[in-house]
Amino acid sequence: MGQSKAARLRPAVQYMQQVGVSPARTWNQFVEQLDRKHGRQLAKHLVDLMTGQLQLETNANSLYDVKNATLALSLDFATYSADLYRRFFDWVLSRRLDQVDSILDIGCDNGLATCFFATCFPAARVVGIDISETAVARARELGDRLRLTNVSFEVQDFQTFKESRQEKPFDLIISLRSITELIADLNNVHYWSIENLHQRLETARGLRPSDGTETIEYVSSTRSAIAVAERVASLLGPTGTFLSLERLTHAGALHAWIYALSQAKLQVDFAHSTWLSFHEVGIEQQFPLLSVKKGASETNDPVACTYKLLQLVSPNHVEMGRTLHDDRAVLAFRHSTDKIFVEGVHAVYPDGAGEERKEIWKDGRSILEYHLTDRGFRELTRYAKERLAGQRDALHDWMQLKTEQNCQCTLYIEPFEHGTNGLS
């Protein structure tokens, strides 16, 4: 006799159906479900918190406290990221991890992911930690509903986490977008190139917060990132795996995290790392999913590691008439090795609001326009070489526009060394 339909479902799909969480296809569908099931006033309150229209004294935790007020509300709220959960669960199970006797979920929130792994690894000891008492209360409630006996939840800060039972190190540690909450400035690093950022991180690592140098902005975040990575290393067993799926919004943030991991003697396992594609309320997303081991290094160079990870998802060139953005632009620009610099404009915004550059390069077959900021924005466009004069005129018009916006602008005819120069 054949299997039932439920038995034939993939474990991730079956689990998500069991807890009643399916992906919201649009923002309106997500909000309408909250409105219909939990009332318009609560739905509006949550929307205001999500969109930043409401600021509370405890805003960092207020959204989590409100959406975790009841388990039903917490699970309905999870429909926003349900596609992420499902795809992440599928990917982890595809790894066919062996001998997983203990699992730690960092920043477990309502326990949705923690309970999934407790379900899939019934013989393992599974621990979820979170600093929110409300979240942990919902996680315990979910574990009880699913009748799981191998999972526990604790209200603890990851940096000071100490398991009450004094067990062995963990075979599997999971961070599902928790690291960027532990290290608030990870996505706010200022840089022009990965090489430039790496130099600044190296300098910041050896500084004291009172040194008062131009790299002072990096000191706290660098130390914080390394401390988190070292805490992971201290809790991870010698043959264990750390899975880190973080909301890293640009190549600089990715490098800052890889740098911190390397300082903790944790290395990315390229063979089992990827970029996870998913949607949140219909909006397509893609973030790096790192598989990290102790002493499993293909390269000890964090810069080379960053570029290698970018190559997993990014093309090495830009087609004629096309524009690449963000990480794709970074990699394509780096691989245009025969380019010759023409000219560029450097704009410094007033009141420390940031810096921006536009540059024109030619490579014999065509011209490249590289548009970048010190906050991680990148855009690379390839034009036919016949458009060189027109693009130079457009560059000068852009300089005039930025000057009118009270930016301090400089026209330069010698290239900044994207691999070595700082923010000067």
pLDDT digits (tens, 9 = 90+) for 371-410: 999 888 999 999 999 999 999 999 999 999 999 999 999 9
Label residue 419 by pLDDT band (50, 70, 90): very low
Which tens digit of pLDDT belongs to each residue from 372-382?
A: 998 889 999 99
Per-domain residue ranges for the chain?
24-78, 80-311, 323-412
* Predicted pLDDT at 62: 81
211 or 143, which is more confident: 143
* Predicted pLDDT at 165: 63
Which tens digit of pLDDT belongs to each residue from 22-72?
A: 999 999 999 999 999 999 999 999 998 888 754 444 444 588 899 999 999
* Predicted pLDDT at 175: 96
* Predicted pLDDT at 60: 47
* Predicted pLDDT at 341: 93
102 or 224, which is more confident: 102
The pLDDT of 71-99, averaged and rounded, is: 93
* Predicted pLDDT at 276: 94
The pLDDT of 335-342, averaged and rounded, is: 87
* Predicted pLDDT at 191: 85
The pLDDT of 157-172, averaged and rounded, is: 81
CATH 3.50.50.60 applies to domain 80-311: no
Which tens digit of pLDDT belongs to each residue from 253-269?
A: 999 999 999 999 999 98
State the chain's mean pLDDT as an integer.
86
Which tens digit of pLDDT belongs to each residue from 276-328?
A: 999 999 999 999 999 999 875 555 789 989 988 888 876 677 788 789 888 88
222 or 346, which is more confident: 346
3-state secondary structure string, the chain? Answer: CCCCHHHHCCHHHHHHHHHCCCCCCCHHHHHHHHHHHHCHHHHHHHHHHHCCCCCCCCHHHHHHHHHCCCHHHHHHHHHHHHHHHHHHHHHHHHCCCCCCCEEEEECCCCCHHHHHHHHHCCCCEEEEEECCHHHHHHHHHHHHHCCCCCEEEEECCHHHCCCCCCCCCEEEEEEECCHHHHCCCHHHCCCCCHHHHHHHHHHHHCCCCCCCCCCHHHHHHHHHHHHHHHHHHHHEEEEEEEEEECCCCCHHHHHHHHHHHHHCCEEECHHHCEEEEEEECCEEEEEEEEEEEECCCCCCCHHHHHHHHHHCCCCCCCCCCCEEEHHHHHHHHHHCCCCEEEEEEEEECHHHCCEEEEEEEECCCEEEEEEEECCCCEEEEEEEHHHHHHHHHHHHHHHHHHHHCCCEEEEECCCCCCCCCCCC
87 or 219, which is more confident: 87
